[in-house]
Structure 1
Amino acid sequence: MSDQSDIEGESMRRPLIFELNLVLLPTAAVIALASMGADPALIWPLALLPYTTRSLYHLIRLALLIRRQHRLVPPFPRGLWGDVYRSIARYQQRGRKSRKRQIRFTRRFREAANAVPDALVILDKQLRIDWANPAAAKLMNIHWPDDDGRLFTDLLSNPGLDDFIETSEYMRPLDIAPEHNRAIMLSLRITPFGERKKQRLVVGRDITKIYHLNMIRRDFVANASHELRTPLTVIAGFLENLLDAPITPINHRRPLTLMHNQTERMRSIIDDLLTLSRLEMDESPEEQQTADVPDELHLIMQEAQALSGGRHPMEIHVDDDLLLLGNQPELRSAFSNLIFNAIKHTPHGTRIGIRWCCDEDGAWFSVEDDGPGIAPEHLPRLTERFYRVDRARSRESGGTGLGLAIVKHVLNRHEARLTISSEPERGAIFSCRFPARRIVWRDEEKLSVNGC
């Protein structure tokens, strides 16, 4: 380490010694001539003229080389000007290496983006096209660079696309059938990026096969459920008659009761499947009206008290003036599912809290309990159909495994989202967040007072 420092110190001393020699030699000559009677004021400019001329020459030469963007290559001048030339040459070399790395990275990025089967489009802050990969030509009818600078919505027009971009709510994808090719179904995701998140990356994925498979699944579930409902109704009717008939032997009553209970459970599953199929057919509610959520919650709480039988202490905090724009039966189904689940799937003595209120972000409904909680590995799958954390306990409580799936679909249709937070032995919180634009106040005067 010391040897390296000595070498660097020596390399710095040499130019300084050379420059000092260039100045000291004329100075010695001036002193000698002055001792012989010459006027120093006349001798000094002449003595320093070679040094000044040399410095001016290297300065002008360096300025011209930099302006013409020439590379500085050896041989370099001696002295301090040589250090200046060498330092600039090193910076130029670093810049060239950096540019080469950037070019290689850009080339690899372009090659990777061009190989992606999904459509990728970069938009500027005016929603004009900055770049697009080849897949965008097939999926979105966007050809780059021919369409460079054109509005994205002019090339990919769809009734719901403008609202999707303007609302900037990109948490869920938008599924559209592009006008240039109605045979495909696209799933669009938009991600803001860049300075102040003004630019946008649009990703379009071909989900035609998945979409058709989902359609087949929905049709099959709906048709099968309709076909099963009639024979189950007949079976349930005969079982009820046999249970009520006085001639039925006593030893037959228990199996008949079990058969009747299982029949009712199957009917409940079929009803939930039909509800899910209906919700999936359309992403928005058919009737947009003012839903009296507080009134529905009070009715649900009466049913919840009866279901609990006083075994669960309940706390309810409801803003009676806070209404919601949406479909009231669907909202009742979602809220009742969350409340009844808290009662069915928690042990006796569990405290349950229900809250309906709003803040600056919108309205929110939550069901909180201090029960045994849910393990983290189960949380991402709770809204899947027929998924159960504890299958045995769910069957004993009469659950169908479809309640949270119904809740999720209802909230999607109301531009809301469901969040679930829980830890083992620390209870669980199920929250529904609705956007502020869906809030309706019972008393219009409160709208100007409340900040929601």
Structure 2
Amino acid sequence: MNVIWARSVVSLVLLAIACAAVGALLNVRAALILAIVVLVVQSFIGTYHKQRLWRLLDAPVYGEVPSAPGIWGEIYYRLHKLAKRWHAQVRQVEQQHSRFIQAIQASPNGVAMLDDHDQIEWCNAISEVHFGLDAKRDLRQHIIHLVRQPDFVRYLNSHHYDEMLIMRGMGDKRQNVLSVQVFPYGENRKLVLSQDITELERTDAMRRDFVANVSHELKTPLTVLSGFLETMRELPLSEAERTRYLELMEQQAGRMRHIVSDLLVLATLEGDGKLPSDQMVDMRAVIRHLQDDAESLSGDRHRISFDADEGLTVTGVETEILSALGNLVTNAIRYTPDGGKIHVDWSATGGAAVFSVTDSGLGIPAADIPRLTERFYRVDRSRSRDTGGTGLGLAIVKHVLQRHDAQLEVKSEVGKGSTFTVRFPVSRTTRRQPAPV
């Protein structure tokens, strides 16, 4: 017997005892009147609490516990406990749902959920960017009406989603490349995952160009070497001709060594994830080294001048800085005709160290300046080969300067020369203390 039946039986027993006592003291009529009054009052109380419970169930207010005597108080209390437990479960589900949505929003991939009619049920912010959607405005819109690229329409309607779809011309500027794949789930619903592979495509293109350029650059000297070897093996040559051919072969071998050496330097710079040290560079020695190399390479064919603030220096890796600045000076000498001027300046501007190389050479067309630091890019390929350039010097300069937080600026005018300027940040600029007398 549960508590409700027990309390009802006890209530009836007490009413019977009370009525019997009243009947014994007064009469049977008084006992019947008492019983009727008590039962009517209990009926009204029960009806009142039933209506109260109805209203509570129809529009529940969490946290509200109606007070009532007897069994109704117990009912309200148990109902409150049940509502509290349900509320805790709902809160837990809502928190899990919120965390799930936050996780999808944090994903670098686009996620769009479609119903059984290919209408948008939900999409994250990345998917909005990829397809130009609006999660609120486009809710319950057919995705084909919003993403109208023919390839996507055919892919979605094909129902064959084993392979990804590559979509080009996406995004705000219509320059992005997306990888899209559909995953069916549930009752004819679909999950559309998208990934921006623009940078990956660009990297693959650069890799293909790099391999093609390396193959082309090494193929020419190898072809020359092979031809000279065949000539020396099959034709009778005089000593002078043999000497000339050997010199040419040595030049081609040296060119291949320079290419391989520069490629190894680039690989080292790109593979070294450690930041350059804060060790002070001996810029006086670097400038002297640059001046000696410039005069040796020029052979008195140019008018070379150096202006250097000997107390000014920077922090970083001395060998890397020497390699980068040396490439700039070497290029100025190689691409300046005989009799031209070359001026190198090392000074402070606005608290930052600035290295500049100005020449009176051939100059660079404006369209070529943004591409100068690309590997194997040359403004004039034939002249670059004649001067011994590998096409990797400015790529090395770019990587060294990036590692040292420095910037490269190029100003040039065809027929009037060029100025290459390197600006080191103030954080890496310092001054060497003068030696004690």
- Tell me the TM-score normalised to structure 1 length: 0.46
- Tell me the TM-score normalised to structure 2 length: 0.48
Work out which of the two has the higher radius of gyration on C-alpha atoms and give 1 or 2: 2
